[in-house]
Amino acid sequence: MHWLPPNGALHGLALDHLLAWNLGIIVGLAIAAHILIAAAFLVRRARPAEPRTAPPTRTDKIAPLLVAEFLTLLALTALYIAMDITGHRLWAATREQEATCGRALQVEVTGVQFQWYFRYPGPDGLYGATKPTLVSAPTGNPLGLDPADPHSADDIVSAILILPAGQPIDITLRSQDVIHGFFVPGMRLKQDAIPGMDGMLRFTPAATGNYVILCSQVCGLGHYRMQARLRIVTPAQFQTWLAAREQAALKARGAQ
Ligand SMILES: [Cu+2]
């Protein structure tokens, strides 16, 4: 659909189709209902007034109308149940991380008033421990990585989310303070980051390009500027970037 932002995710195509179908069906039904109401008014007006002595109900005429109404309601109920099931399946596909476990790239996304931070676990594949008392953005430790934990030495923390195209991405979503909304219109993703809870997201970027990451919850005075960039690059470009950042992270923590 041309009024939506360009889609860059694998699941986005099916989601856009479902949205177009839903809108088409709802607009079609609304138009049909209005035509029916207008037709009923016109037919009633054109018909001569019935004598007041007429019986209040005539089951031979009303019964077919009731059957038609019942069948229409039944068809509409089936249609909405089918649309609901399709929508739920698409929603669940971006929330279930088990299916391709091991193959997916792990990234942790943390919302902080008013910034998004992205953490990659590094070559060991494990996120290092964090401590709230160590959180200090001015000294370069916005997530509070614990230097005493060996797993944290190779962790990469970035203010830009860089991901390879064509690979499943498993996101763990966190918040350090209030409820933030991780919203990536170009990837058709939206999920709240809630303090004390780990949110899960799964998606596969389909094409290289630049996308915007927003916060969809009014999280404070600086909410309007809580934006970050998402860059989808080729797998080779991603590996080069990751290796350079890993070297830099190890050097920086080694010097501490
Ligand atoms: Cu926010």
Alpha carbon distance 187, 207 (integer Å): 10
Cα–ligand 1 centroid distance for 175 (angstroms) = 9
Asked if pLDDT for residue 212 goes beyond 90, the answer is: yes
Kind and range of the H or E run holding 161: strand 161-164
Cα–ligand 1 centroid distance for 199 (angstroms) = 15
Which residues pair with residue 232 across a beta bridge?
Answer: 163, 209
Highest mean pLDDT among 12-16, 20-24, 134-138, 212-216: 212-216
Question: Within a 10 A sphere around the Cβ of 145, how many other Cβ atoms?
Answer: 24
Q: Which one is predicted more confidently, 140 or 233? A: 233
Alpha helix stretches (DSSP H) within the chain: 12-46, 59-93, 235-255
**In this predicted structure, which of 47-61, 67-81, 221-235 has the lowest mean pLDDT?**
47-61
Cα–ligand 1 centroid distance for 247 (angstroms) = 31
Average pLDDT over every residue of 148-160:
86
Q: Tokens 């109404």, residue?
A: 69
Alpha carbon distance 70, 64 (integer Å): 10
111 in Cβ contact with 193 (< 8 Å):
yes
Read off the pTM.
0.81
203 in Cβ contact with 192 (< 8 Å):
no
Asked if pLDDT for residue 223 goes beyond 90, the answer is: yes
Total residues belonging to the chain: 256
**In this predicted structure, which of 1-5, 38-42, 167-171 has the lowest mean pLDDT?**
1-5
Cα–ligand 1 centroid distance for 145 (angstroms) = 21
